[in-house]
Amino acid sequence: MSSFPAGGIRANPEAQASSGGWQNIPSEARRPVSERISRWLLREWIWVFLMGYGVFVGLPWLAPAFMHLGWETPARWLYGFYSLFCHQLPQRSLFLFGLKPMYSLSEIRQVWPYEDPLLLRAFTGNPIFGYKVAWSDRMISMYTSLWAMAFLYALSGRRWRPLPVWVFFLMALPMALDGTTHFINDLLYGIGERGFRYDNAWLVLLTGGRLPTWFYVGDALGSFNSWMRWITGVLFGIGLGGLALPYIETAVRAALEEP
Tell me, yes or no, whether 152 and 243 share the same domain: yes
What's the pLDDT score for residue 30? 65
Tell me, yes or no, whether 153 and 168 share the same domain: yes
Tell me, yes or no, whether 177 and 68 share the same domain: no
Please check whether residue 99 is in contact with residue 130, taking contact to mean a CB–CB distance below 8 angstroms. yes
In DSSP terms, 131 is beta-bridged to 96, 125
Tell me, yes or no, whether 121 and 145 share the same domain: no
Tell me, yes or no, whether 123 and 149 share the same domain: no
Tell me, yes or no, whether 182 and 233 share the same domain: yes
Q: Where are the alpha helices (H) located in the chain, listed in sequence order? A: 13-18, 33-43, 45-58, 62-69, 72-82, 105-109, 117-120, 137-155, 165-189, 201-207, 213-216, 224-257
Average pLDDT, the chain: 88
Query: Which of the residue ranges 104-118, 139-153, 186-200 has the most confident prediction, judged by mean pLDDT?
Result: 139-153
Give the residue from 83, 103, 132 where a domain finishes. 132
The answer to the question of residue 239 being in a domain is yes
Give the residue from 94, 116, 132 where a domain finishes. 132
Q: CA–CA separation, 92 vs 232, rounded Å?
A: 14
Tell me the CA distances in angstroms from 248 to 3, 109, 226, 238, 243, one per residue in order: 63, 46, 33, 15, 9
Q: CA–CA separation, 165 vs 154, rounded Å?
A: 21
What's the pLDDT score for residue 15? 44
The answer to the question of residue 85 being in a domain is yes
The answer to the question of residue 44 being in a domain is no
25 — pLDDT class (breaks 50, 70, 90): very low
Tell me, yes or no, whether 233 and 195 share the same domain: yes
Backbone angles phi, psi at 216, to 5 degrees: -80, -35
Query: Could you tell me the pTM of the whole model?
Result: 0.83
**Is residue 187 scored above 70 in pLDDT?**
yes
Q: CA–CA separation, 93 vs 220, rounded Å?
A: 10
- DSSP assignment, residue 163? P
Tell me, yes or no, whether 163 and 235 share the same domain: yes
Percent of all residues in the chain with a pLDDT value above 70, rounded to a whole number = 88
Q: What is the pLDDT of residues 27-58, one digit of tens each?
A: 566 667 777 788 888 889 999 999 999 999 99
Tell me, yes or no, whether 216 and 125 share the same domain: no
The answer to the question of residue 53 being in a domain is no
The answer to the question of residue 199 being in a domain is yes
What's the pLDDT score for residue 202? 94
Q: Where are the alpha helices (H) located in 125-223, listed in sequence order? A: 137-155, 165-189, 201-207, 213-216
What's the pLDDT score for residue 34? 75
Tell me, yes or no, whether 156 and 240 share the same domain: yes
Rounded mean pLDDT, 88-109: 94
Q: CA–CA separation, 226 vs 218, rounded Å?
A: 8
What's the pLDDT score for residue 27? 59
Range of the domain at 86: 58-132
Tell me, yes or no, whether 150 and 228 share the same domain: yes
Give the chain's domain count: 2
The region of weakest confidence among 4-18, 197-211, 233-247 is 4-18
Tell me, yes or no, whether 176 and 113 share the same domain: no
- DSSP assignment, residue 196? T
Q: What is the pLDDT of residues 119-160, one digit of tens each?
A: 999 999 999 999 999 999 999 999 999 999 999 999 999 888
Q: CA–CA separation, 99 vs 94, rounded Å?
A: 12
The answer to the question of residue 45 being in a domain is no
